[in-house]
Every structure is written in C-alpha cells, then in structure tokens.
Structure 1
Amino acid sequence: FGEPPELDRFDEMGLPSRPQLEEAAALSVISESGVRVPFGNLFEGQKTIVCFIRHFWCPLCQDYMFSISRNVSPEVLASAGIKLVIISNGSYEMIKSYRRIFRTPFALYTDPTHKVYNSLGMTLQTLEKGPKASYIRHGMVSGIGMVVKNAVKVGMPVWKPGGDIAQLGGEFILGPGLSCSWAHRMRYTRSHVSILQVIEEAGVD
C-alpha cells in the first residue's frame, strides 16, 4: 500500500537545496529578548549545529535538551570553531525560563510561524511516537510530571503559547554561509538523532 502521501514527499536526510537555504536564511526567528533575527545570521560566519525541537511542553524534547546539557561542552565546540543553537516554535517569552531548566549556555530562538521549519523540509506533523530513541528517559506519565515540575521550578509563563504539539523538528549542520553539510528531519515525536552523533557529523571528536 506504500507510505501516506505526505511521507512520499518527505526526505528525512536530504540536504536542503540552495533555493531552500536562501529562503530559510531570509526568514526571521525570534530571540530571547523578542528581537527578530534573520535565520541566516545564525550560521553566516561559522559552522553551526541547529537543533529544531518541538514545543516547549514536550517531555520528549526536554529529555533531548537534557542530553545536550550532559554531553555537549561549549568549550569543546568553541575550540572546534562550531556553534550550537536551538529553535523551538512557541512564544519567545518562554525562552528564558526554558533555558534555565537545563542551565544551557546555548542560544535559543523561536519560529512560531513554522516557516523556517517548512522551508528546510520539516513538514511532517504527527503525534506518532515511533521507536524509542536512546535519549528518552521518561514515559508518558513521568514525562508529564517532569514537565510540570520543571515549569514550577523555573516559573515558566504557562499562559504563553508553548508551540504546536504536532510540529516535528530535526538537526542541521549549516554554514559558514549558505551551505549545509548534514541534515536530519524527524519522522516521529521521539526521533531526534543523538546529539553525540550530530556533533560527530560536525567534525567534533
């Protein structure tokens, strides 16, 4: 019977084309302070790992964020001339408290319109879990409990939009300039590629 129509057109690992990169680079993402920044500015000057997560309330992506905090050294990346940034799709007003959960030094931006996601081929929307990835540490009930506990601990503004619960993300190695050396787009809600594999693909030992 084959794949559903949307999966027929979906390319999990394909590199974005030059026109796709040009389109994405011209679109805006929003910083923690509410400033709109051209997406292309994030990787214009150096090789940059860009991790697109799902919504701010996603326990699966919180597990992924914790895996980044545990496994990625900002100093090691800096010595390799590589930057890492994270993109979500909720309100920028949630960024500050969200970063505090993981004590992450990495910059986080939002794309609430999903335009950058879509321009880079992250067009799938689903709530299907798929196979369990290595970074997953919580089941449904314990994951929801973790999210609530974290929100209370850091005082997340729960009245602000957390993002589209069906939007999937991915990981890209972009720059310098309009170049992409590696790409992965999620098929399921827990199918991020291990951050250790991503930084290895970026050339970090």
Structure 2
Amino acid sequence: MTANAAFSKTALPTPQELEAARQVPVHDSKGGKVLLGSLFEPDQIGGTAVVVFIRHFLCGLCQDYLSMLSSKFPPSLLEQHKIRLSVVGCGDYKMIDSYRDHLSCPYPIYSDESKKAYEVLGMTKRTFDLGDTTPEYQKKGMGSTVWTSIGSFFKMGKLANPGDSKQIGGEFVFSSSGQPTWCHRMENTRDHAPLRDLAQASGLPPPFSP
C-alpha cells in the first residue's frame, strides 16, 4: 500500500510495493545495514518468515505483545515449524540491545528509523487512538502501561530516539518463496494481531487452549 492509497488492514502488498520494501535498508543492533527483503526469506527450505513491526521502543503495549509472543512462540517451537520471526521498530538502532535485554526477547530486532518500510508496506496510520478493545496481550491497565513506558526510558538508559510515538505497525507472513501470504496492519495502538490469527497464518499450533 502506498502512502496515497486508501488504508487497508489486510490487503497484501502489490508486487511493486513488495519490491520497494525489499530495497529498504534497516539496521541491526550494531548499526550494520541489511535489506528488509532479507527478512522476508525463511531460514529453512520450505519454511515461513514472519515480520512483526512494532511502534516506538518505549511502547509498553508493544512490549507486552512481544513478551506474550516470546512466551507462546519460543525459538524452539519456531525452529520445529521452520519459521523465522523478526522484529522491526522505528527507533534508533542504539536502543536495540537494551530493548532486547529489557524484554529478554529471543528474536532478532532491527531498526527502520526512516519509517520507509512502514510507508511502502501500507502502515501509514499515525495515531494515539487506543481503540475500544482490550487485547489479550495487555498485562496492565492503561495507567500502569504508561508508567511502564516511562520506566523503560530510564531502564534502557539510552539518549537515543525511541521512534515516532504516533506510528503504528503490523504483522506480515511470507511463504518459502518470500511472497506475502497474510498481513495485519494496526488501526490503533492496541491492535497487534491476535496470536491465534498469527499462529494460523504462519502454520503454528494455536497458542491458547479452547
């Protein structure tokens, strides 16, 4: 989805948009550049790639989402099902190491401070809107979540840009050939994809008992 196109929560990127996204450089925790398209390729033959775009690095809601993701989809389970999962944020790469340590996040994390990847993949909404639904991953009330975000700033101890506080993200699943098969773009700040939907789209067992 281009910036001028109507926002869609679930429309797959067009071939042109996908190619543009592939060429976007993102940074690892050391500042090294990799092309975003490399994250679309599974590590194993016949596998699947999942890319989760979070909001800014201080967002307590995104931290809750990654914590639940880490708990329900540990690396051992992902390896068993030939799934590669990467995380992309819109803040400075200098915050990645402290962010990963703060959450004990087992997934590789990258920075797209330019937000070009968000734009070309259709995550064009910028909002503080919370929406009307409390998601499964929200651990605390919103007051506590705000304080968690503030506390994260001091715990991470980095005088670096955490990212655009109004940017929202989404989740994308790619086939063994690197083609998008499913996506979910956030419409508000509490709208990360339900884990059951993400599991089904990526070929994982349901994360919760019926």
TM-score, scaled relative to structure 2: 0.88
Residue of structure 2 equivalent to 1:81 = 82
Partner secondary structure for residue 34 of structure 1: coil
> Which stretch shifts more, 141-150 or 29-38?
141-150
Give the Cα–Cα distance (whole angstroms) in 1 for the partners of residues 109 and 40 of structure 2.
14
**What is the deviation of 1:176?**
3.1
Match of 1:170 in 2: 170
- Runs of 4+ displaced beyond 6 Å: none
Contact 1:133 1:191 in 2 (8 A): yes
Partner AA of 1:79 in structure 2: Q
Paired position in structure 2 for 1:198: 198
Q: How big is the shift at 1:139?
A: 2.4
Structure 2 match to 1:3: none
When residues 59 and 7 of structure 1 are mapped into structure 2, their CA distance, relative to the original with a 3 A threshold, is farther
Distance 1:130 1:194 in 2: 14
Number of the residue aligned with 2:124: 123
Counterpart residue type for residue 126 of structure 1: T
Match of 1:15 in 2: 12
8 A Cα contact 1:22 1:178, kept in partner = no
The one of 37, 42, 47 aligned to 1:40: 37
How far, CA to CA, are the matches of 2:113 and 2:190 in structure 1?
20
SS of equivalent to 1:128:
coil
Task: Work out the CA distance in 1 between the residues paired with 2:202 and 2:191.
Answer: 19
The answer to whether the 8 A contact 1:69-1:102 is kept is no
Q: What is the identity, as a one-letter code, of the residue corresponding to 1:121?
A: G
Deviation of the 1:67 alpha carbon: 1.1
| Superposed CA RMSD | 1.9
Structure 1 range deviating more: 59-68 or 175-184: 175-184
Q: Are residues 1:139 and 2:133 paired?
A: no
| Aligned mates of 1:198, 1:147 — CA distance in 2 | 25
1:29 maps to 26
* Percent identity of paired positions between Structure 1 and Structure 2: 34
Alpha-carbon separation, structure 2, partners of 1:8 and 1:188: 18
TM-score, normalised by the number of residues in structure 1:
0.90
Gap runs ≥5 in structure 1:
1-5
AA at the equivalent of 2:95: M
Q: What are structure 2's unaligned runs of at least 5 residues? A: 206-210
| CA contact 2:50–2:85 (8 Å) conserved in 1 | yes
